[in-house]
Structures are given as structure tokens and as C-alpha cells.
Amino acid sequence: MDKYKSTELSLFILSQFLIVIILLFALFPMYYLFVSVFKTAEDFAANQFGIPTRLTVRNVATAWIQGKFSRAFGSSMIVAITATFIRILLGSLAGYAFAKMEFTGKRYLYYIFIVSMFIPIIMLIIPLYIVLSRLHLLNTYIGTIIIFSGTGSMGFTAYVFTNFFCGLPSALFDAAKVDGCTGFKFYYKILLPLSKPIISTLSIINFLWIWNNLLIPLVFLNVESKWTLMVRITSFRGRYYTDLTVLMAGLFIATLPMILLYTFAQKQFVRGMLLGTER
């Protein structure tokens, strides 16, 4: 018995040690980013990893104004928020159709959504470029938003909504029919309010995927005034590579919204994932 307890204690200590090591590897890049942003160039050269001896916001101001991150930040917000809203709307409608409606080809269409989850976006770049070129939507927010709205994790969004709607009790739908609440009225008056945790989770996932995406804006937004943050960072790196503190400030501006979003919506994120994957 004592030998069993000793072995169990050893495994517990080892697991905690491994967790601490993994946590340090995960947090160190964030620590390095934050301490570098608020250092002077001299302070950074003297001690890259230490805490700033004198705090300064000059690096952030330089990146925001001279580096034109303010304009790129606005472009990223326009694209990410709009495309996320469209994804949630279309994904919830698709989930409602797959879960509670009967129509010809329903199963095959659902399989197409599932398969789309495994198609790399890079395989679609040339066809999408040709289509947008013929529609005169290259270098426009509309064209980029259309691409983001229908690619990437769109299939996953529909899949999660479908699973959630299928898990709702049938009595709920029967009661709604008795009260005359059917069709689209049932969707937006009953299903959407019940889907708040799922909507929160999928909004975070889709927003972060769109926000962090470099390939699509790089290919379809070649006008500098419409560059997103990820594209701006790639050009910013070459211009300010000798001043690492300003470069870090640019990365800080791009990272901060994602950290804040996940920090304040962590509970909804976990709850929504549990609800959306159960069936």
C-alpha cells in the first residue's frame, strides 16, 4: 500500500513538473514581447530579457503612427468582424437546415460541408483569384470578406451548429409548432437565444482565424491603404528590423486584441465547445 502511494505521489510530482516546464515555454515568448515593447533602444541593447528600467510608450506610438498600424488595425477590424458575422449567420442557418429540416440531397450536402473542413485554403487561391478578378473585386474589402466568409472554418461552424441543434429536445420543437412558431420565426426567436454559448465560441474561433490570416489579404488586398495587420507586419519587419523594440511594438498591437478577446470570453469559449461537440 505504501509502495502504491509512493508511486502515485511520484507520478503526481512528475506531471506537475512537466506542466510547469510547458507553461514556461508557452509564457516566455509573451513575457519577452511585453518587456521589449516598453523598453528604450538602449535598455533593450543592454538587457534584452530583463524588466525595463524606464518605461516608455514611444515604440507603440512609432508603430501606430509612422508604421501606419492604425490604418491596418482598422482594415483588420472591418474584415474580421464582418466576415465573422456572416460566418455565424450562414453557419447557424445551415445547422438549422441540416438538423431540423428535410430536403433532397441533405445528407450529401452535409458531407460536402464536412469535407470542406479538410481542404487547405492554399489549394483554392488560384480559382478564387480568377473569380474575383472577373468580378472586379480584387483589392476590395468586399472580395476579401466573401472569401473569408466561405472558406477556412466555415464547415466547422456549420458542423458545430448542426450538432448543437440536433442535441436539443424534440419536445421543444413540438411545443413551438403547437404555438405556431415554425420556420424562420422558430430559428431567430428560439434557436438563436439558446445558441448564445455556441455563438460566442465560434465567434472567437472565426475572428482569431481571420485576424491571424496572412495569405488571403496578402494575395487579394495589394493596395497598401487596405492592408491588414498581418500584411503590415511583414512589410514593417524589413523597414524597422534594426529597431527591434519598434518591431515588437507592432507585434504587440496585433496580439493585444486576441489576448483580450480570449481572456474575457474564456468561460463562454469552453462552455460552447462542450455544448457544440456533444451529440
Q: What is the mean pLDDT of each run of 10 residues along the chain (279 residues)?
A: 63 83 86 85 80 82 84 92 94 88 85 84 89 91 92 84 84 76 78 85 88 91 89 75 78 85 68 53
Distance CA 157, CA 96 (A): 12
Domain 68-277 maps to which CATH number in 1.10.3720.10, 3.40.50.2300, 1.10.150.20, 3.40.50.450?
Answer: 1.10.3720.10
Distance CA 228, CA 212 (A): 10
Measure the CA angle with vertex 176, ends 173 and 177; round to 5°. 90
- pTM for the whole structure: 0.83
What SS3 string covers the chain?
A: CHHHHHHHHHHHHHHHHHHHHHHHHHHHHHHHHHHHHCCCHHHHHHCCCCCCCCCCCHHHHHHHHCCCHHHHHHHHHHHHHHHHHHHHHHHHHHHHHHHHCCCCCHHHHHHHHHHHCCCCHHHHHHHHHHHHHHCCCCCCHHHHHHHHHHCCCHHHHHHHHHHHHHHCCHHHHHHHHHCCCCHHHHHHHHHHHHCHHHHHHHHHHHHHHHHHCCHHHHHHCCCHHHCCHHHHHHHHHHHCCCCHHHHHHHHHHHHHHHHHHHHHCHHHHHHHHHHHHCC
Distance CA 17, CA 205 (A): 30
Q: Where are the domains of the chain?
A: 68-277
> What pLDDT does 270 receive?
59
Burial annotation 60-94 (CB, 10 A radius, 16+ → b, else e): bebbbeebbbebbbebbeebbebbbebbbebbbbb
Distance CA 232, CA 71 (A): 10
Measure the CA angle with vertex 13, ends 7 and 14; round to 5°. 90
Distance CA 185, CA 180 (A): 9
What are phi and psi for residue 39, nearest 5 degrees? -100, 150
